[in-house]
Amino acid sequence: MNPHLVGTQEIKVTRDRYKLCPSCSNYSHYAESHNYCIMCGAKMICECPDCLEPILYPTAKHCPSCGTGYGVKFAEAVKMELKMKTG
Protein backbone atom coordinates (compact mmCIF):
# COMPACT_ATOMS: atom_id res chain seq x y z
CA MET A 1 0.00 0.00 0.00
CA ASN A 2 1.41 3.32 -1.04
CA PRO A 3 -0.54 6.14 0.62
CA HIS A 4 0.58 8.55 -2.05
CA LEU A 5 -1.36 6.67 -4.68
CA VAL A 6 -4.65 6.61 -2.82
CA GLY A 7 -7.12 8.94 -4.44
CA THR A 8 -4.94 9.66 -7.43
CA GLN A 9 -5.08 6.37 -9.23
CA GLU A 10 -8.19 7.34 -11.18
CA ILE A 11 -6.40 10.29 -12.74
CA LYS A 12 -5.36 9.15 -16.15
CA VAL A 13 -3.72 11.08 -18.90
CA THR A 14 -4.93 10.46 -22.40
CA ARG A 15 -3.56 7.13 -23.38
CA ASP A 16 -3.03 5.52 -26.70
CA ARG A 17 -5.11 2.58 -27.74
CA TYR A 18 -3.90 -0.29 -29.81
CA LYS A 19 -5.25 -3.01 -31.98
CA LEU A 20 -3.87 -6.47 -31.46
CA CYS A 21 -3.72 -9.48 -33.69
CA PRO A 22 -5.06 -12.40 -31.66
CA SER A 23 -3.32 -14.82 -33.97
CA CYS A 24 0.31 -13.66 -34.13
CA SER A 25 0.40 -10.89 -31.49
CA ASN A 26 1.21 -8.23 -34.03
CA TYR A 27 -0.22 -4.82 -33.15
CA SER A 28 -0.93 -1.45 -34.68
CA HIS A 29 -1.99 1.87 -33.30
CA TYR A 30 -5.72 2.40 -32.84
CA ALA A 31 -5.62 5.36 -35.22
CA GLU A 32 -4.30 3.17 -38.00
CA SER A 33 -7.01 1.89 -40.27
CA HIS A 34 -5.79 -1.68 -39.98
CA ASN A 35 -8.76 -3.93 -39.58
CA TYR A 36 -6.70 -6.97 -40.41
CA CYS A 37 -3.25 -8.01 -39.38
CA ILE A 38 -0.63 -7.09 -41.93
CA MET A 39 1.41 -10.10 -40.87
CA CYS A 40 -1.09 -12.94 -40.97
CA GLY A 41 -4.40 -11.48 -42.11
CA ALA A 42 -6.35 -12.20 -38.94
CA LYS A 43 -8.94 -9.72 -37.79
CA MET A 44 -7.45 -7.24 -35.34
CA ILE A 45 -9.15 -6.62 -32.02
CA CYS A 46 -9.19 -3.19 -30.38
CA GLU A 47 -10.81 -4.06 -27.09
CA CYS A 48 -11.20 -6.90 -24.65
CA PRO A 49 -13.53 -9.52 -26.12
CA ASP A 50 -15.05 -10.10 -22.72
CA CYS A 51 -15.35 -6.77 -20.86
CA LEU A 52 -14.72 -4.41 -23.80
CA GLU A 53 -11.89 -2.67 -21.99
CA PRO A 54 -9.77 -0.77 -24.54
CA ILE A 55 -6.39 -2.29 -25.31
CA LEU A 56 -3.86 0.15 -23.91
CA TYR A 57 -0.71 -1.94 -24.10
CA PRO A 58 0.53 -3.12 -27.49
CA THR A 59 2.33 -6.07 -25.95
CA ALA A 60 -0.55 -7.20 -23.75
CA LYS A 61 -1.59 -10.83 -24.01
CA HIS A 62 -4.42 -10.63 -21.52
CA CYS A 63 -6.94 -8.02 -20.48
CA PRO A 64 -5.64 -6.17 -17.40
CA SER A 65 -9.19 -5.68 -16.24
CA CYS A 66 -10.69 -9.16 -16.43
CA GLY A 67 -7.79 -11.42 -17.40
CA THR A 68 -9.33 -12.68 -20.62
CA GLY A 69 -6.69 -13.70 -23.12
CA TYR A 70 -6.45 -11.84 -26.40
CA GLY A 71 -5.09 -14.91 -28.10
CA VAL A 72 -5.92 -17.44 -30.73
CA LYS A 73 -8.79 -19.02 -28.84
CA PHE A 74 -10.67 -15.79 -29.11
CA ALA A 75 -9.91 -15.52 -32.81
CA GLU A 76 -11.36 -18.98 -33.32
CA ALA A 77 -14.41 -18.05 -31.30
CA VAL A 78 -14.94 -15.02 -33.51
CA LYS A 79 -14.67 -17.15 -36.62
CA MET A 80 -17.27 -19.52 -35.25
CA GLU A 81 -19.48 -16.62 -34.32
CA LEU A 82 -19.17 -15.18 -37.81
CA LYS A 83 -20.05 -18.53 -39.31
CA MET A 84 -23.12 -18.70 -37.13
CA LYS A 85 -24.14 -15.17 -38.06
CA THR A 86 -23.62 -15.67 -41.75
CA GLY A 87 -25.26 -19.06 -41.63
Task: Classify residue 68 by burial, with Cβ atoms within 10 Å: 0-12, 13-18, 19+.
Answer: middle
Residue pair 35/46 in contact (Cβ under 8 Å)? The answer is no
Q: How far apart are CA 39 and CA 73, in angstroms?
A: 18
Q: Which is nearer to Zn ion, 1 or 46 (CB)?
A: 46
Stretch that binds Zn ion, among 7-15, 24-32, 54-62, 76-84 (CB under 5 A): 24-32
Selected from 29, 62, 65, 81, the binder of Zn ion by CB under 5 A is 65
Stretch that binds Zn ion, among 11-19, 20-28, 69-77, 78-86 (CB under 5 A): 20-28
